[in-house]
Structure 1
Amino acid sequence: MMLRLRVSFPDRPGALGQVARVLGTLGADILQVTVLEREAGRVVDDFTVSWPGAFDPEGIRDRLSAAPGIRVEAVWRTREIPGTSPDYDLLRHVATEPGRAFATLVDAIPDLVSAEWAVAVSSESGDLVHRSWQAPESLDEQGGLSGVKAADLTALRPCALTAGRHRFMSVPVPDAGLHLVLARTEGPSFHRAELDRAVRVVELVSIIGHRPAPRTPQGV
């Protein structure tokens, strides 16, 4: 099983190696390390690992946190395949078929930031315009997410927020009248590094999606 672990540890030489050794003693195979931040003398990294045992977030957290200086912020399952470039693949598909740019974005972007699902919401009406296969059919209490209001997910600026058991990311789509909303129920709130990555991808998709279709030469 593949897991993602968000780990904080001291920003000093050898600390990353210490985390790797602890993971190794627990039988985890480190597949990828993503640096999220370095502030106030500490580092926060996401480790994607192949985990040999059962999925026991509290047990994994306790075993890792027993090492001096190591603090596990979250443990959750991930579909991300280390070593791939899903952002490039997404942009290639969008460039190939720009007429489906935003639908393709919604289908593909969850894997970029370890989200469970995504939807495109109308900025004006709050209606769902596109949704990935795991997303609810609506965002109201009757058919979708209890206690979640569409207005809370359509902020003017990119943001991360929590509502109930869901962690959300909301990103306005430039010049499209849409908001991209991503969610996960496992794991921590979206980090600002994940938010920044999604914003850059959304901006590029918006540019490609609004590009005029090439004209067919007359007489062809």
Structure 2
Amino acid sequence: MILRLRVSFPDRPGALGQVARVLGTLGADILQVTVLERETGRAVDDFIVSCPGAPDAEAVRDRLPVVPGLRVEGVWPTRETPGAAPDYDLLRHVAADPSRAYPTLVDAVPGLVGAEWAVAVSAGGELVHRSWQAPDTLDETGSLVGVKIGDLASLRPSVLTSGPYRLMSLPVPGAALHVVLARTEGPPFHRAEVDRANRVLEIVSIMAASA
């Protein structure tokens, strides 16, 4: 089983090693560590770990708090490939066919930030593009997973929660579109994830404008 863990812990020497030791006692092999935040004396890191035939997400969540000051923000299964560069792959595909820039973005951007699906929504509230797991229509109230389209159409990147959904909304520069990403497992999107997705979207929008 491949799991993604998000943990917050005191940013002091040896703290990361303590987390690694606890994961080792669970039989977990650390495949990748991503630093999301280093502020106010605390660190927020994402770990991708392999637990072959070992504890499930709840067992990992239960054991990690033995590290003093550690908070578990999320433990969830992931299909991410450690060491891969999905943002580069996405941009390569867009560069090969800029006329399909936004469908390509919507299909691939969930893999950049551990999302489950993405859609592109027009200013008029129409689903213009969708990844394969995304809803294919708005609900009877004109909402997406319980959120009014107008509430998703912020002028700047934003995150929100609706029921089990963690959502990220990104305005597309120069186009009357918003890209909305969602996941039901794990914590709300971190600002580092929002920044990463938004930077890629900005580059895609430039490529699309040149098509």
Using structure 1 for the length normalisation, give the TM-score: 0.91
CA distance in 1, matches of 2:145, 2:90: 31
Give the stretch that moved more between structures: 87-96 or 141-150: 141-150
Structure 1 residues 145 and 125: alpha-carbon distance in aligned structure 2, compared to 1, 3 A threshold: closer
Distance, in Å, in 1 between the alignment partners of 2:12 and 2:71 is 15
Structure 2 gap ranges (5+):
none
Cα distance in 2 for partners of 1:97, 1:132 equals 18
Pairing of 1:63-102 with structure 2 (within 5 A): 63-102=63-102
How many Å separate the matches in 2 of 1:102 and 1:54?
Answer: 40
Match of 1:185 in 2: 184
Q: Give the SS at the match of 1:210.
A: helix
Answer yes or no: is the 8 Å Cα contact 2:6–2:73 preserved in 1.
yes
1:195-214 superposed matches below 5 A: 195-212=194-211
**Where does 1:136-155 land on structure 2 (aligned, <5 Å)?**
136-141=135-140, 145-155=144-154
Q: Hey, what does 2:13 align to over in structure 1?
A: 13
Give the CA deviation at 1:150.
Answer: 1.6
Q: Give 2:120's aligned residue.
A: 120
| Cα 1:63/1:127, change in 2 over 3 Å | same
Q: Distance in 2 between matches of 1:141 and 1:41?
A: 47
The structure that has the greater radius of gyration is 1
Aligned residues: 211
Q: How does 1:96-111 map to 2 (within 5 A)?
A: 96-111=96-111
Identity of aligned residues (%): 73
CA gap of 1:193–1:85, structure 2 versus 1, over 3 A, is same
Go from structure 1 to structure 2 and tell me whether the alpha carbon gap of 1:171 and 1:55 turns closer, same or farther (over 3 Å shift).
farther
Tell me which residue corresponds to 1:218. Answer: none
Q: Distance in 2 between matches of 1:7 and 1:206?
A: 33
Q: Unmatched 5+ residue regions in structure 1?
A: 213-220
Is 1:133 matched with 2:132? yes
Q: Deviations over 1:51-86 (max 9, x none)?
A: 234674333211111222222111111121111100
CA offset digits 1:159-218 (Å, max 9, x no partner) = 011011100000001112110000000000000000000110000000011114xxxxxx
Q: How does 1:17-36 map to 2 (within 5 A)?
A: 17-36=17-36
CA RMSD of the aligned region, Å? 1.7
Structure 1 moving runs of 4+ over 3 Å: 53-58, 141-146
AA at the equivalent of 1:111: G
CA offsets per residue over residues 114-137 of structure 1, 9 Å max, x none? Answer: 000000000x21110000000011
For the residue of structure 2 that corresponds to 1:102, the secondary structure is helix
Q: Secondary structure at the match of 2:30?
A: strand
